[in-house]
């Protein structure tokens, strides 16, 4: 069963129908089937309607392979549809439109040929990441490109989950999903509240909290050995500029720094987390 967007753009249970790999041509810009896609650049609207947006063929394919997401529909150009068709499961509606219509509906120069709308899953708690041996914990990282980049590195470098404080950027924001190449859709994550007191839950679960900071008392090579299976590590990182707050640092078991040229003041947070993860699993 699948809901289709109403004229207001919200999924409507009243119009629920059975759809089996339906492909429908869309030839008019004012077609009501496109109404939800007119809001793909509005994160507040998407959040209010419980939706997320995936863009690009590779990311949409990865979304379609994740059983936890209910895909409402995909909007594709004819060329993209031919490529994506083998990945469309029963129940997914494909709206096929010209590149010009897609660009005008979305409001930006869209060159990837493929968008998908899916329902956001419920917000996850610490239980979603409890089985991890390596976590990345973020404080105040609001830039969606940095959030997405950290997810991408974490997935590639064997972290099993991400924890975020309440001020971090939304991993289901369109730019974060795109930058992560879909890793935000597959890597478990949770929001820790209240912050920073919730870090105690990680410590009780056996995690060593290692804070990444330019003022760290140890070098990054001093991180515990995760590869041997004898440690659980939560890498704690803050936003560029302000870094970690005193409250977060107070919960750290150790503080580590990455040696860099004295002429440089710091590393991008994505780079710093990636280096630390490589040290843990390299």
In terms of domains, do 141 and 18 share one? no
Q: Do 82 and 135 fall within a single domain?
A: no
Q: Find the largest Cα–Cα distance for the chain.
A: 63
pLDDT of residue 112: 72
H/E element holding 53? strand 51-55
- Span 109-127, average pLDDT: 86
Dihedral pair phi/psi, residue 124, rounded to 5°: -95, 150
Task: Supply 54's token pair.
Answer: 């995936």
Same domain, 20 and 85: yes
Which of these, 176, 143, 136, lies nearest to 242 by C-alpha position? 143
Non-local CB neighbours of 279 within 8 Å, separated by 6+ positions: 220, 221, 223
Containing structural domain, residue 260: 126-281
Assess contact for 167 and 143: CB atoms under 8 A. Answer: no
CB-CB contact of 71 with 64 (8 Å): yes
The confidence band for 109, taking pLDDT boundaries of 50, 70 and 90, is: low
Per-residue pLDDT, 5: 42
How many domains is the chain partitioned into structurally? 2
> DSSP labels for 92-123?
-EEEE--HHHHHHHHTS---S-EEEEEEPPPP
Q: Which residue has the tokens 């560029």?
A: 240
Tell me the per-residue pLDDT of 149-162, one tens digit each, with 9 for 90 and over.
999 999 999 999 99
Q: Is 50 exceeded by the pLDDT of residue 14?
A: no
Q: What is the DSSP letter of 193?
A: S
Which of 119, 153, 176 is the last residue before a domain boundary? 119
Tell whether 184 and 259 lie within a shared domain.
yes
147 or 229: which leads in pLDDT? 147
Answer left, alpha or beta for residue 136, where phi above 0 means left and psi between -120 and 50 means alpha.
Answer: beta
Instruction: Note whether 130 and 109 are same-domain residues.
Output: no
The pLDDT assigned to 113 comes to: 84
If one counts every other C-beta atom within 10 angstroms of the C-beta of residue 169, the result is 21
CATH number where 108 lies: 3.30.1330.30
Percent residues over pLDDT 90 in the chain: 70
Domain stops at, among 93, 119, 145 = 119
Instruction: Give, in degrees to the nearest 5, the angle at Cα 138 between 132 and 141.
Output: 145
| Cα–Cα distance, 175 to 203 (Å, whole number) | 32
Residues 149 and 228 in one domain: yes
Domain check: are 208 and 131 in the same one?
Answer: yes
pLDDT tens-digit series, residues 82-97 = 988 888 877 789 999 9
- The CA distances from residue 153 to 64, 117, 146, 150, 178, in Å, are 22, 25, 10, 5, 13
Please list the residues that pair with 23 across neighbouring strands. Answer: 94
Given a contact cutoff of 8 angstroms between Cβ atoms, the answer to whether 226 and 134 are in contact is yes
């Amino acid at each position: 069963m699948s809901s289709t967007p109403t004229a207001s753009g919200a999924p409507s249970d009243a119009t629920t129908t059975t759809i089996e790999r339906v492909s429908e041509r869309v030839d008019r810009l004012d077609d009501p089937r496109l109404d939800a896609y007119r809001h793909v650049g509005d994160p507040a609207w998407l959040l209010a309607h419980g939706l997320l947006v995936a863009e690009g063929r590779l990311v949409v394919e990865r979304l379609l392979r994740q059983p936890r997401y209910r895909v409402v529909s995909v909007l594709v150009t004819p060329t993209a549809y031919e490529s994506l068709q083998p990945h469309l499961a029963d129940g997914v509606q494909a709206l096929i439109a010209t590149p010009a219509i897609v660009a005008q509906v979305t409001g930006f120069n869209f060159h990837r040929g493929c968008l998908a709308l899916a329902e956001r899953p419920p917000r996850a708690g610490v239980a979603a990441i409890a089985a991890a041996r390596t976590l990345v914990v973020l404080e105040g990282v609001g830039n969606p490109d940095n959030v997405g980049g950290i997810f991408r590195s974490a997935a590639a470098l064997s972290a099993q989950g991400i924890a975020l404080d309440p001020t971090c950027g939304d991993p289901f924001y369109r730019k974060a999903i795109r930058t992560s190449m879909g890793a935000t859709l597959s890597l478990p994550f949770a929001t820790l509240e209240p912050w920073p007191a919730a870090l105690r839950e990680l410590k009780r679960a056996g995690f060593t909290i290692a804070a990444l900071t330019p003022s760290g008392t140890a070098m990054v090579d001093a991180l515990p050995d995760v590869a041997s299976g004898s440690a659980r590590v939560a890498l704690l990182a803050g936003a560029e500029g302000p870094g970690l707050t005193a409250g977060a640092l107070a919960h750290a078991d150790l503080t580590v720094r990455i040696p860099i040229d004295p002429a440089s003041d710091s590393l991008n947070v994505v780079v710093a987390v990636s280096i630390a993860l490589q040290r843990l699993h390299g």
